[in-house]
Amino acid sequence: MCVSWVWLYRNKEPEQRFVMSNLDLGGKYLARVGKRRWLTLAFFKTVKGRFGLERFAQHSEQGVLRWWCLSGMAFLLCHFQDLDLPVEAPGTWPDWGDLARTVRFSFVPEVRRRALQLELDALDAFQNALLALKT
């Protein structure tokens, strides 16, 4: 069993991650492969968690292709939004949740406004029904 570690410099403080393999690949090679693996996993975690794509159907080839297209579009929109912001210190990662929220509010505010209006209408109907029961 080979064990190595990699340092990920995503945030202000580096994170140490351990990589294991049952093949004798050598420490440097294993660290290089492991670092790419952790970066890939971090990307997918960000895409699924921050963009709400964890609920998207990936049970068919068409579903996977849709997921890739939507993930790519979400990433590109957030990346272009990040390019419009002032430059931060090198080596810092943007807050993808804030970027996704900014994109959503700037590109599709009517969709969000309509969703909120539907929720307000449902609350009004509920309150009116309660008032009718009390009288």
Q: Which amino acid is at 119?
A: E
Cβ 107 vs Cβ 77: under 8 Å = yes
Cβ 1 vs Cβ 22: under 8 Å = yes
Give the pLDDT of residue 29. Answer: 72
* % the chain with pLDDT above 90: 10
Residue 3 lies in a domain: yes
Residue 34 lies in a domain: yes
Total domains present in the chain: 1
Residue 17 lies in a domain: yes
pTM comes to: 0.42
Q: Mean pLDDT, the chain, as a whole number?
A: 78
Q: Does 124 have pLDDT greater than 90?
A: yes
For 39-65, what is each residue's pLDDT tens digit? 777 777 776 776 666 666 666 777 778
Instruction: Give pairs for 50-55: CB < 8 Å, separation 24+.
Output: 50/96, 50/97, 50/100, 51/96, 51/100
For 16-34, what is each residue's pLDDT tens digit? 777 777 777 766 676 677 6
Residue 67 lies in a domain: no
Residue 30 lies in a domain: yes
Residue 61 lies in a domain: no
Domain coverage including residue 14 = 1-42
In a 10 Å sphere around its CB, with 0-12 CB exposed, 13-18 middle and 19+ buried, how is residue 6 labelled?
A: buried
